[in-house]
Structure 1
Amino acid sequence: MRKLAIVTTHPIQYYAPIFQLLAQRGNISIKVFYTWSQAADGPKNDPGFGRDVNWDIPLLNGYEYEFVENIAAEPGSHHAAGIVNPGLIDAISQWQPSALLVIGWAYRSHLAVLKHFNDKIPVLFRGDSTLLDQKPGLKSMLRLLYLRWVYSHVNYALYPGTNTKAYFEKYGLTDKQLVFAPHAVDNQRFAASRTNEAIALRQSLGIVEDEILVLFAGKLESKKSPDLLLEAFMKLNKAGVHLLIAGNGELETALKERAKAHPRIHFMGFQNQSAMPVLYQACNLFCLPSAGPNETWGLAINEAMACGKAILASNKTGCAIDLVRPGHNGEIFEAGNLQALYNSLAALCTSAEILSTLGKASLGIIANYNFSEIAEAIEATVCAGH
């Protein structure tokens, strides 16, 4: 059996199920090498949420893993020097893998691993960067040269969608090297009925059955533009339409101050993974108005679509081009454009029945964005890359 070593920073809810599934399927043997985390459990500080986060679904069950010592002076995944693992290459080599999968290169240790194993075993890379925020100029030209050098150490790149494929192509990867492996969430867990809890949540907010609830859920940070959504919603000021902003972050105080006199704007703090399906199922429309930079995908949209919801997303949200089909399951608006967001919001919030129809279309689109598709793509690439 071929052996795949996987290098990633820390256990997260979007990758652990893939590792579990690969181990369960048994077509390849895997071992995950975690480079940031030094503990199997316990909270981890997330700068975006501005708080410690301890996910409440199991992330380390069902697959082999190792926490590799990280000696960085300031450990973290938010800067290149935050991941420094002198023993990583030896740990991987001792396991004697047939292939290597590196998730994210922009850390000192991850880049060293790419360079070391290049031409020794097939090197797979998983990333979701896009060209959406790029601007012409000298900096862009230098970046082109550097990234072409980085990706020259990669045999195969797993891309989640259209925008990332264009990115990899720009930086020198050929069509034969590119493998579609969609970003996914646990569609079944999000789709499982939480109706009674969703109804109770709406009632607790004073929202009656035929009224519309627009949801934003995520980090309250500038790149996600919850403030733009708040302004568009206040401009709309339509009876029977409510806005729920769920999350924490740097903009929280300002958002609450701006909305304090508006009875149909509601706030909830950080919600853990087990609670998120209730929020999505309680809403009629999910909005991700990100202006970037680096909203490379937007997995909250996957989650909302798995709950059968209509979607409103900006064109700077990486997944929008693949997951949002205007007039079919939602709308796409120009990022940062208040009037464009207002127009889309006004058009969508005409009736709960229309939003329900759009939401049913979301279910059909998201069905193929699942963990099995990712596992199959990894297995096929590992087995073909010898």
Structure 2
Amino acid sequence: MEELHPGSVHVVYASDCSVVGHADNEFGITIGWDIPMLKGYPYSILNCEKGAPLSNWGSLTGEGVKAVINKINPSAVLLTGLNYKFDLVAYLTARKSGIPVWLRCETQDYALKRSKLKEIYRLLVYSIAYRALNKIFYIGKLNKMHYIRHQISPVRLKPAYYGTKDLFIDMTAAQKNLIRARARLFAGIDLTAVVIGFSGKFIPKKNPEILFDMLAFLPTELKKRIHLYFMGSGALQPTLESKAAEAYRKYGIKTHFTGFVNQSKLVPHYLTMDVLVLPSRRMGETWGLVANEAMQAGCSVVVSDAVGCSSDFSSWERFRVFPEGDAAALAEKVTDLAKYHREFDWAKQELENYSIDATAAALLRELTITEN
């Protein structure tokens, strides 16, 4: 938004832990993103942490929110979640000041298995919380369905689809092929191999082990050609390494582990892969942004039906969805996608609506209406 309309946005952060680094228990390491997240726009950092930031509802307190809102006096306050006390303080402060409150977040109703009682309680709480919102931006189909289910009028719903910065947009096909070849050489992967990849935390929610479970169901000819590729880290690392050794003994299939990869280093890894698999269990995978990143690189993608973006992308040419936990069905989808020749731009046109530029334009359009 700032590039499209200078002076249109001021971002207020409760914490800068994602920049300076914080312990991520699921990755199993201390993480600080290595891209310039605080450049190109005005911002304030309140550092209103209590205890370990992001650990619970009260870990971001909202101290200083009232002062910064009074100072900026914005035309609208856009919340990106309702997960912390910080969000509630911003919500109530804006309402009390007569400032419109907008929301854009990942929430949907099918990411988790819940008891009937919890479903009723959740329905009541969200219906009350959403009632005073002026505009809500939905990131995808399931997110939109969530708001409609909670009695939000379509007039207040605006599309601003979920996307991520395209790291490949300024690269030619020749450059991508060169990076792909070099990355495969470094990893000891044959240029003709079909690389089946995983990107994320090695935790039960993500279910990375199923990539090894599917091997028994792959055609013999495909088993001779594939190479598994795991980008990430986490508690399941020893289990995955053990399964990798077994896969080599049993099938001759090799596996490459990259370790945790920070944002600025993602490009060669995605270009190495042919098919990305996100096989998450129904434990909170509200979207699955690695699917967007992989398609930007030209990878084919398979996700479980527990992944939020499956509803948006399921009809796309090289995107497949399999039932959660079904290794045989996963093998069938991977076999299907392995037939495609690697093309870097197969999803380029479809992804335009799921881009940072498209989201910024959507928000700016509504801001212009509000100010006029």
TM-score by length of 1: 0.87
One of 20, 45, 59 as aligned partner of 1:42: 20
Q: CA deviation at 1:215?
A: 0.9
One of 248, 259, 284 as aligned partner of 1:294: 284
- 1:215 is aligned to 197
2:158 and 2:3 map into 1 onto residues whose CA distance is 22
- Larger mean Cα displacement after TM superposition, 216-225 or 191-200: 191-200
Partner letter of residue 209 of structure 2? D
1:356 and 2:333 equivalent?
Answer: no
- 1:14 is aligned to none
Q: CA deviation at 1:104?
A: 0.7
- 2:163 is aligned to 184
Q: CA deviation at 1:27?
A: 5.8
**Cα deviation code 1:261-315 (max 9, x no counterpart):** 4241221101111221111111111111111321111111111111111111111
Partner letter of residue 209 of structure 1? L
1:160–1:180 Cα contact (<8 Å) kept: yes
1:333 and 2:333 equivalent?
Answer: no
**Cα deviation code 1:18-71 (max 9, x no counterpart):** xxxx122226521111102269x4322222211111222211111111111314
Q: CA deviation at 1:331?
A: 1.3
2:179–2:268 Cα contact (<8 Å) kept: yes
Q: CA deviation at 1:250?
A: 1.6
- Where 1:154 maps in the other structure, the secondary structure is coil
- 1:251 is aligned to 236
1:348–1:355 Cα contact (<8 Å) kept: no
Q: CA deviation at 1:134?
A: 4.7
One of 324, 331, 340 as aligned partner of 1:342: 331
- 2:32 is aligned to 54
- 2:178 is aligned to 196
2:155 and 2:76 map into 1 onto residues whose CA distance is 17
Q: CA deviation at 1:184?
A: 1.3
1:177 and 1:81 map into 2 onto residues whose CA distance is 29
- 1:264 is aligned to 254
- Where 2:264 maps in the other structure, the secondary structure is coil
2:366 and 2:306 map into 1 onto residues whose CA distance is 30
**Cα deviation code 1:174-200 (max 9, x no counterpart):** 111111001112225466234323212
- Where 1:196 maps in the other structure, the secondary structure is helix
2:24 and 2:267 map into 1 onto residues whose CA distance is 21
2:104–2:136 Cα contact (<8 Å) kept: yes
2:235 and 2:216 map into 1 onto residues whose CA distance is 21
1:178 and 1:296 map into 2 onto residues whose CA distance is 19
1:224–1:288 Cα contact (<8 Å) kept: yes
1:165 and 1:361 map into 2 onto residues whose CA distance is 26
Q: 1:69 to 1:271 in 2, by over 3 A?
A: closer
Q: CA deviation at 1:97?
A: 1.1
Partner letter of residue 275 of structure 2? L
Q: How many residues align?
A: 358
**Cα deviation code 1:85-141 (max 9, x no counterpart):** 322122211211111011111101211221232261111111111111354511110
**Map 1:61-140 → 2, pairs under 5 A:** 61-72=39-50, 74-118=51-95, 120-132=98-110, 133-135=112-114, 137-140=116-119
1:69–1:85 Cα contact (<8 Å) kept: no
Unaligned runs of 5+ in 1: 1-21
Q: CA deviation at 1:355?
A: 4.4
2:170 and 2:191 map into 1 onto residues whose CA distance is 20
1:323–1:366 Cα contact (<8 Å) kept: no
1:162 and 1:108 map into 2 onto residues whose CA distance is 27
Partner letter of residue 54 of structure 2? S
**Cα deviation code 1:140-159 (max 9, x no counterpart):** 10111111111123111111
2:68 and 2:54 map into 1 onto residues whose CA distance is 20
1:228 and 2:228 equivalent?
Answer: no
Q: CA deviation at 1:321?
A: 1.6
2:49 and 2:182 map into 1 onto residues whose CA distance is 47
Q: CA deviation at 1:366?
A: 1.4
- Where 1:287 maps in the other structure, the secondary structure is strand
Partner letter of residue 368 of structure 1? N
Q: 1:140 to 1:317 in 2, by over 3 A?
A: same
Partner letter of residue 223 of structure 1? K
Partner letter of residue 321 of structure 1? S
Unaligned runs of 5+ in 2: none
1:382 and 2:367 equivalent?
Answer: yes
1:220 and 1:191 map into 2 onto residues whose CA distance is 31
- Larger mean Cα displacement after TM superposition, 60-69 or 30-39: 30-39
Q: 1:85 to 1:75 in 2, by over 3 A?
A: farther
